[in-house]
Amino acid sequence: MTKDKPKEQEENLSIDTVAITENIKEPSIWVNFFLKIIYLVFLNFIVPFLGFVTLLQLLFSLGSKKPNENLIFFSKKLSIYVYQIINFITYSSDERPWPFNAFPESTD
């Protein structure tokens, strides 16, 4: 009876190579993969840009003792966009971010 368990475990761990081969040949999977890579690279440009926006807000705060409302509005939209990108590249959402869909609107 102990010899039957390894066979059952092997059956449970078997890999369906036919399904994997079919999935590899599926163009939509590769398009999605490359889009995720592009968004990941784009995200690496957005993060330093957020640092620049933060620095600008600091300068506005030093000059007028309050942050710039236009930058606040833009920052909110940009943070929603970054959230959409992260959801897309981590497979949490199938919805592609801008430019495939509209740029996000601020909730406020």
Q: How many other β-carbons are positioned within 10 Å of the β-carbon of residue 64?
A: 9
Joined together, the tokens standing for residue 36 give: 């995720």
Whether 39 and 93 have beta carbons less than 8 Å apart is answered as no
Q: How far is CA 43 from the centre of its chain?
A: 8
**Confidence tier at 61 by pLDDT (50, 70, 90):** very high
Cβ atoms of 97 and 84 within 8 Å: the answer is: yes
d(CA 46, CA 75) in angstroms, rounded, equals 11
Q: Does residue 46 carry a pLDDT above 70?
A: yes
- What pLDDT is stored for residue 8 in this prediction? 57
The one-letter amino acid code at 55 reads L
> Which is higher by pLDDT, 72 or 23?
72
Q: Check residues 60 and 106 and name the one with the higher pLDDT.
A: 60
Q: Is the pLDDT of residue 92 over 60?
A: yes
Question: Rounded mean pLDDT of the chain?
Answer: 86
